[in-house]
Amino acid sequence: MDFGFTDEQTMLGESLARTLERGGDAAALSELGAGLALMTEEAGGFGGSGPDILMVFRTLGRAAAVTPLLDSVVLGAGILSAAGEADLAEAAASGEARIAVALEEPGQRYDGKVSTRAEGERLSGEKSLVPGAEDATHLIVRATDGLWLVEAGAEGLGLRGYALMDGGRAAEVTLMDTPARRIGDAALLDRPLAAAILAVCADALGAMEKAVQLTTDYLKTRKQFGRPIGSFQALQHRMADLLTEVEQARSAVWNLAGNLDTADRDRHVAATKSLLGRVALYVAEETIQLHGGIGMTEEYELAPLARRLLAADARFGDSDHHLERFIAASAA
C-alpha cells in the first residue's frame, strides 16, 4: 500500500508550482509539459493516470490559476484521443490547439439532456456554459446522435461570452446549420468526463489547502483583545473541524484517483464529487468567517479561492446531483 507520488510526479508538481508563482501563463505551462503530463503514453503524453491528474490540478488549485488545462486537455484532448483524432489531441495537449467542449444546454441543469441535432453534416441547436469557447480553435459539440467537431469561425456559429466565477470565461453557443464532422458516440465521454471530475476535485482540494493555510496564518497574527485570535477556543474548534473535513476531502480525492481506471469508477466519481462539493462550500464559508471583515474583500488572496470552491461544486454536477448518482450506483 502506497499513497505517495512517483519522483516524476513530485518534480512536475514542484516545477509547476514555481512557474505559477512567477506568474507563468498558459504558454509557460505548455513549455513545462503540463498538458502532456495529463495524457497517456498511447495518446502521445507521459502521464494521464489518476495520480498525475491529481498532482497537476491540486497545484493549479493552490495557485488559483486560470488555465485551459481542464477543458482543452483533460476533457477536449481526452475525448479526441478516445475518438482516434490523434493529431488534434496532441496539438491540444501541447497547447497549439484550444478545444472547448459544449455539453450542456440552456435550462437542463445537470441532467445532460440534449436537443442539438445534426442534419447531414450540419448542426443546429443551443449549447450553454461552454468554458473557453471564445479562445477555442475547435469545439466538440454533444448532439443527439453523438459528438461532433466544429471549427472556430464556422458558418452559423454564434458565441455570447461572459465571465465565470473562477476567473475563466465561458459562452452561450448557437449553431445554425453549422458545418461539423461527427467524431464518435457519446460513450467516448465516459473516461474523459470522469478524469475532468477528478481534476475539478483535485483543484478544489488545492484551493482548500491554500485557504486553510491563509486562515492559519491569519489566526496566528491577527490580534484582538491583546492576543492572537487563534488563542480563542471558539475559533480553535472551528479550525479543527475545518481541518478534519479537508482531510476527508483529501481521502475522497485519493479514492477517485486510485479508481479512475477500475470497474468501480462511477461509484467513486459520484462519492468524491458529492463529498468535495459539500466540503468545498463549507471551507469557503468557514475560512471567510474565520478571517472576519478582511475575508470579504476582493483585494485579499482568499477571494478567488472562495469563488473557485463555489465554482467547483457547480461544475459537472453539484453535491446533491452526485448524491443521487451514488444512490443509483449503489442500488445497481
Partner 1 sequence: MDMSFSPDDQAFRAEVRQFLKDRLPARLSEKVRLQQELTKDEIEEWHAVLNEKGWLAGNWPVEFGGAGWTAIQRHIFEEESALAHAPRILPFGIAMLGPVLQKFGSKEQQDRFLPRILNGQDWWCQGYSEPGAGSDLASVKTTAVRDGDDYIVNGQKTWTTLGQHANWIFCLVRTDPTAKAQEGISFLLIDMTSPGITVRPIVLLDGTPEVNEVFFDDVRVPTENLVGEENKGWTYAKYLLTHERTNIAGVGFATAGLAALKRVARAQQAQGKPLIENPLFAARLAEIEIDLMAMATTNLRMLAQAAAGQVPGAESSMLKLKGTQIRQAINDLTRRAVGPWALAFPSEALEGANDDLPPGPPEAAAATRAYLNNRKLSIYGGSNEIQRGIIAKSLLGL
Amino acid code (one letter) for 171: A
Q: Are 32 and 16 in contact (CB under 8 A)?
A: yes
51 interacts with partner 1 by CB under 8 A? yes
> Which string of x and - marks every residue 89-128 that binds partner 1 (by CB under 8 A)?
----------------------------------------
Q: Which three cell numbers stand for residue 123?
A: 448542426
> Which string of x and - marks every residue 200-219 that binds partner 1 (by CB under 8 A)?
----------------x--x
Name which position in 254, 266, 281, 310 contacts partner 1 (CB under 8 A).
254
> Which string of x and - marks every residue 264-303 that binds partner 1 (by CB under 8 A)?
-------x--xx--x-------------------------
The least distance separating partner 1 from the CB of residue 133, rounded to whole angstroms, comes to 33
Q: Which is nearer to partner 1, 148 or 326 (CB)?
A: 326
The least distance separating partner 1 from the CB of residue 228, rounded to whole angstroms, comes to 6
Q: How far apart are CA 85 and CA 76, in angstroms?
A: 11
Q: How far apart are CA 66 and CA 25, in angstroms?
A: 9
Name which position in 35, 47, 50, 206 contacts partner 1 (CB under 8 A).
50
Q: How far apart are CA 136 and CA 153, in angstroms?
A: 10
Q: Which is nearer to partner 1, 11 or 327 (CB)?
A: 327
**Strands 138-143 and 99-102, how do they pair?**
parallel
How many other CB atoms are found less than 10 A from the CB of residue 3?
10
233 alpha carbon, distance to own chain's centre: 36
Q: How far apart are CA 319 and CA 332, in angstroms?
A: 20
* 274: CB partners within 8 A, 6+ apart: 319, 320, 322, 323, 325, 326
Q: Which is nearer to partner 1, 188 or 271 (CB)?
A: 271
Backbone φ and ψ for 67, nearest 5 degrees, come out as -140, 165
How many other CB atoms are found less than 10 A from the CB of residue 169?
16
2 interacts with partner 1 by CB under 8 A? yes
The least distance separating partner 1 from the CB of residue 229, rounded to whole angstroms, comes to 9
250 interacts with partner 1 by CB under 8 A? yes
Q: Are 274 and 326 in contact (CB under 8 A)?
A: yes
- Positions in 219-238 near partner 1 (CB under 8 A): 219-220, 228, 230-231, 233, 236-237
Q: How many residues does the chain have?
A: 332
57 interacts with partner 1 by CB under 8 A? no
Part of the chain binding partner 1 (CB under 8 A), chosen from 3-11, 139-147, 161-169, 189-197: 3-11
Give the residues lining the site for partner 1 (CB under 8 A).
1-5, 50-51, 216, 219-220, 228, 230-231, 233, 236-237, 239-241, 243-244, 247-252, 254-255, 257-259, 271, 274-275, 278, 323-324, 326-327, 330
